[in-house]
C-alpha cells in the first residue's frame, strides 16, 4: 500500500486525503489545529462553491449539509455611478445552485470522516524538519498549508505572477438579520469603480444560516480602513461605508448582527503562482497543492473552487501514475494537468483586479439589457474557461455581441 502524507487539513488537503482513502492508499493528514480549535476559531473565507466543485465533494460522499445550507441560486452585478446610484445592473440564475459552508463547520466534520474511513490525522505545526521525516517515511509528501515556513519553500513563478503586492484590502463579516435580495437568493457583486468591491452571499455557519459581508478595497482608498478594528467596530464601519457607496445594500443591513465572536476577518495578500515542486535540504522533492501553488485574490470567488478542482486533478493524476515513483517529473505533471485549466481562472481573476477595458464595459452594458449575455457571465464563475471565448478578448467580444444582436 502506497503511503502519502498531506500537510494541511483544509478544503484541498482533506478532499484529496479522503479521495485517496477510497482507493486504498495509506494516508496521513497533518493539521496545525484540532477540529475543536477550528470550530471555535475565526472565520477563514467566504468559500462560495459552484457546481463543478460541489460535484467533486458529492462524488466522495462529503456533502453533509443538504438543505441546511441556503442555496446560492444566482448572481447579480451592480456597478455604482459614484454618486450614490447605479450606473448599470444585471443578474441571472445559475444553471446549478452554488453553496457556501463556513469552513469552521465543514473541516471538523471532514476531519472526523477522514479518521472514520481509516485515515491518520496528526495534530502538529509542521516545519522543514518534519517534512524531511515525512519524506523519508512516505512515498509522496504533498504540502497543502498555504502559510508559514513550509509554504515559503515554494518559489514564486514570476512569469505567472503579475502582482508583487496586495491588490485589495480585505474585510469580511458573517451576520444575521440581513434583508433578502428581492429577486433571487444569491451573490450580490457590487463594483465601485476606483474604490473597490462589496459582496454578499448566503452561507451556513456554526449557528445556522447567515449572510456574508465582504469588502475588497483598493489599497489606500476609502475601503482600506478595517485594520485594527474590533469586530463591533468593523461591523459599524461596514454599515457606514455601505450608506456612502452602495446605499441599496445599506438598506438590507440596518438590522444586522455578527453571528459570533469569531465572525470577522481582515487581511491582504499578493496574488501569486508558485512553482509546484520544493526541494528539501536532503534533496527530497515535495509537491504543492491548491493555495500553496495558486493563490488568487478572492474578487472572483475562485479560492475554494480552485482548491477542490486541484484536489480532484491531483487525485486523478496519482491514480493514473500507478506504482511508478513520485519523483519531481511526476510532480510537474500533476501540477501541469491542473494548470491547464486553472490558468484561466487565474488570468481572469487578475484581469478583474484592474480597470475594466472598453470591450468589458460594452459587454456589461449589453448584459444589463440582454438576459443571454448576463447568464453567460454569471455561469462563467463555475467554469472560467468560457470567458476566453468571448469576454477576455476584444475581437471575440465584438463577434459575440454581433452574434447576440443578430
Same domain (yes/no): 139, 220:
no
Task: Give the side-chain half-sphere CA count within 13 A for 322.
Answer: 2
- Reported pTM: 0.97
Summarised one tens digit per residue, pLDDT across range 22-46 is: 999 999 999 999 999 999 999 999 9
Same domain (yes/no): 334, 243:
no
**Residue burial 287-323, b: 16+ Cβ < 10 Å; e: rest:** bbbbbbbbbbbbbbbbbbbbbbbbbbbbbebbeeeee
Quick one: DSSP state of residue 155? P
Spell out where 134-207 has E strands.
140-143, 169-176, 186-192, 196-205
Query: By C-alpha distance, which of 206, 170, 204, 171 is closest to 185?
Result: 204
Portion of the chain with pLDDT greater than 70, in percent = 100
Same domain (yes/no): 234, 378:
no
Task: Give the side-chain half-sphere CA count within 13 A for 262.
Answer: 16
Same domain (yes/no): 194, 75:
yes
Same domain (yes/no): 58, 136:
yes
What's the pLDDT score for residue 149? Answer: 81
Q: Which one of 207, 240, 267 terminates a domain?
A: 267
Residues 6 or more apart whose Cβ sits within 8 Å of residue 56: 15, 308, 309, 311, 312
End-to-end C-alpha distance for the chain, whole angstroms: 60
Same domain (yes/no): 133, 122:
yes
Summarised one tens digit per residue, pLDDT across range 337-357 is: 999 999 999 999 999 999 999
Q: Which one of 217, 242, 267 terminates a domain?
A: 267
What CATH number does residue 209 fall under?
3.30.9.40
pLDDT band at 67 (very low <50, low <70, confident <90, very high): confident
Same domain (yes/no): 91, 115:
no
What CATH number does residue 45 fall under?
3.50.50.60
Same domain (yes/no): 95, 12:
no
Same domain (yes/no): 113, 196:
no
pLDDT band at 1 (very low <50, low <70, confident <90, very high): confident
Summarised one tens digit per residue, pLDDT across range 205-252 is: 999 999 999 999 999 999 999 999 999 999 999 999 999 999 999 999
Summarised one tens digit per residue, pLDDT across range 142-169 is: 999 977 788 889 999 999 999 999 999 9
Structural domain for 206, as ranges = 69-100+168-267
Measured distance CA(60)–CA(58) in Å, rounded? 5
Same domain (yes/no): 276, 348:
yes
Number of domains in the chain: 3
Same domain (yes/no): 364, 234:
no
Same domain (yes/no): 304, 318:
yes
Summarised one tens digit per residue, pLDDT across range 92-109 is: 999 999 999 999 999 999
Q: Which one of 241, 267, 293 terminates a domain?
A: 267
Amino acid at each position: 500500500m502506497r503511503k502519502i502524507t498531506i500537510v494541511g487539513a483544509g478544503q484541498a488537503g482533506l478532499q484529496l486525503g479522503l479521495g485517496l482513502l477510497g482507493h486504498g492508499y495509506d494516508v496521513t493528514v497533518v493539521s496545525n489545529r484540532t477540529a475543536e480549535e477550528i470550530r471555535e476559531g475565526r472565520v477563514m473565507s467566504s468559500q462560495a462553491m459552484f457546481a463543478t466543485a460541489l460535484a467533486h465533494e458529492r462524488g466522495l460522499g462529503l456533502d453533509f449539509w443538504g438543505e441546511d445550507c441556503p442555496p446560492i441560486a444566482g448572481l447579480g452585478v451592480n456597478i455604482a455611478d459614484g454618486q450614490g446610484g447605479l450606473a448599470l445592473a444585471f443578474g441571472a440564475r445559475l444553471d446549478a445552485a452554488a453553496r457556501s459552508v463556513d469552513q469552521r463547520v465543514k473541516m471538523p466534520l471532514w476531519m472526523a470522516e477522514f479518521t472514520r474511513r481509516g485515515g491518520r490525522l496528526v495534530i502538529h505545526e509542521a516545519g522543514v524538519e518534519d517534512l524531511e521525516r515525512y519524506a523519508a517515511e512516505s512515498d509522496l509528501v504533498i504540502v497543502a498549508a498555504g502559510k508559514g515556513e513550509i509554504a515559503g519553500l515554494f518559489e514564486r513563478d514570476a512569469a505567472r505572477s503579475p502582482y508583487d503586492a496586495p491588490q485589495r484590502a480585505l474585510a469580511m463579516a458573517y451576520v444575521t438579520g440581513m434583508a433578502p435580495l428581492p429577486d433571487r437568493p444569491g451573490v450580490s457583486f457590487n463594483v465601485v469603480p476606483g474604490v473597490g468591491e462589496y459582496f454578499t452571499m448566503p452561507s451556513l455557519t456554526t449557528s445556522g444560516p447567515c449572510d456574508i459581508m465582504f469588502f475588497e478595497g483598493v489599497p489606500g482608498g476609502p475601503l482600506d480602513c478595517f485594520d485594527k478594528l474590533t469586530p463591533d467596530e468593523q461591523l459599524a464601519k461596514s454599515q457606514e461605508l455601505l450608506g456612502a457607496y452602495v446605499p441599496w445594500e445599506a438598506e438590507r443591513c440596518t438590522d444586522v448582527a455578527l453571528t459570533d465572536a469569531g465572525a470577522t476577518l481582515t487581511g491582504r495578500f499578493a496574488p501569486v503562482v508558485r512553482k509546484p515542486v520544493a526541494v528539501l535540504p536532503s534533496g527530497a522533492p515535495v509537491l504543492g497543492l491548491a493555495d500553496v501553488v495558486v493563490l488568487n485574490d478572492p474578487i472572483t470567488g475562485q479560492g475554494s473552487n480552485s482548491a477542490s478542482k486541484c484536489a480532484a486533478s491531483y487525485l486523478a493524476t496519482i491514480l493514473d501514475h500507478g506504482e511508478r515513483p513520485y519523483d519531481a517529473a511526476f510532480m510537474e505533471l500533476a501540477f501541469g494537468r491542473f494548470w491547464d485549466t486553472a490558468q484561466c481562472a487565474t488570468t481572469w481573476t487578475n484581469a478583474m483586479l484592474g480597470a475594466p477595458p472598453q470591450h468589458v464595459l460594452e459587454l456589461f452594458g449589453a448584459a444589463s439589457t440582454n438576459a443571454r449575455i448576463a447568464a453567460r457571465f454569471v455561469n462563467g464563475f463555475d467554469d472560467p474557461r468560457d470567458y476566453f471565448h468571448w469576454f477576455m478578448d476584444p475581437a471575440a467580444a465584438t463577434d459575440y455581441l454581433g452574434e447576440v444582436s443578430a
